[in-house]
Amino acid sequence: MFPNVARIQPPKRTRIYFFSDVHLGLDTPERERSKERMLLRFLDTIKRDAEQVFIAGDLFDFWFEYRSVIPSGHVRVLGKLAELTDAGVRITFLAGNHDFWLKSFFPKQLGVEVSLEPIERNLYGKRFFLHHGDGLLRNDTGYRMLKSVLRNRVSIFLFSLVHPDITGMIARWSSRTSRQHTGKKTYEGNDMVDFARQKIREGFDVVVMGHNHQPHVERFQNGTYINLGDWIDEHTYAVFDGRRITLKTFRANEKRERRG
């Protein structure tokens, strides 16, 4: 008779992670490799306990997808996302202002859900509202007009008729224009905080956004607003354990909680 040996139980997947604004493809090859390695370490770290992962926009600095062609590069990150979904992690990709031309590649090839619109989700009894954060500045009418043109179905169809190399150049121009336009705006964050406050008044418990690359936590009487920061300089992300959402900074093998 063999002694009773307790079965090793797999870790429970109970945590929900959020990150945004990686902007893969933005920088020099050396900086991109460093950023990619950091992101891959992060995804490896959360693989054991992640129930869900939300990418809140701008994973890529630009992305345009054809029926059978996608931009070159980023294969390690794409493979890692597929590895997580194969392991049972539910991943949702909310389009940002740099990667909104998403079609079927992510759901069909990687098992990643795609949303082109803000997400409302009930998570462990808490109402979450996810928005990339673009177009919320009150005086940002120019960007909202550009967004309506670029996301128009007719525009997307016309772009799909153009050779991928030319579309890539147009996408890079669009990415650069969006970044320059955003950079000219004064981001006090008040408009985004006001937007989050209004959503909490509407009954949401947590509002999660990105876009302005400024990690921030604002706790109201009836809810919480978190801005996820970025993965260019900050390497910040949020984690929800079923009761409380916190903003943390990832440093290789270290996870540090930010105050707020």
Q: What average pLDDT does this structure show over 86-93? A: 98
- Look at residue 7 and tell me whether its pLDDT is greater than 90: no
Per-position DSSP letters for 207-238, written without gaps between them: EEE-SS---EEEE-SS-EEEE---TTTT-EEE
Q: Choose among 188, 211, 61, 193: nearest CA to 134.
A: 211
Q: The sheet that has 254-257: what strands, in order across it?
A: 113-115, 90-94, 50-55, 15-19, 236-240, 245-251, 254-257
Percent share of the chain, pLDDT over 70: 73
Confidence of residue 180 (pLDDT cuts 50, 70, 90): low
Tokens encoding 132? 């990339």
List the chain domain ranges: 15-257
How far apart CA 99 and CA 64 sit, in angstroms, is 7
The string of pLDDT tens digits covering residues 181-228 is 555 445 545 889 999 999 999 999 999 999 989 999 999 999 999 999
Sign of the torsion angle spanned by Cα atoms 145, 97, 111, 160:
positive
The continuous run of DSSP H or E covering 157 comes out as: helix 153-160
- Alpha-carbon radius of gyration of the chain: 19
**What's the mean pLDDT when you consider all of the chain?**
84
- 148 has pLDDT over 50: yes
What kind of fold does domain 15-257 have according to CATH?
Purple Acid Phosphatase; chain A, domain 2 (3.60.21)
* Beta bridge partners of residue 128, listed in sequence order: 121, 206
Local confidence band at 2 (pLDDT 50, 70, 90 cut-offs): very low
In the predicted model, is pLDDT for residue 139 greater than 70? no
CA-CA distance, 227 to 210, in Å (whole number)? 5
The one-letter code for the residue type at 192 is M
Beta strands in 45-168 (DSSP E): 50-55, 90-94, 113-115, 119-123, 126-130
Please give the Cα distance from 247 to 228 (Å, whole number).
7
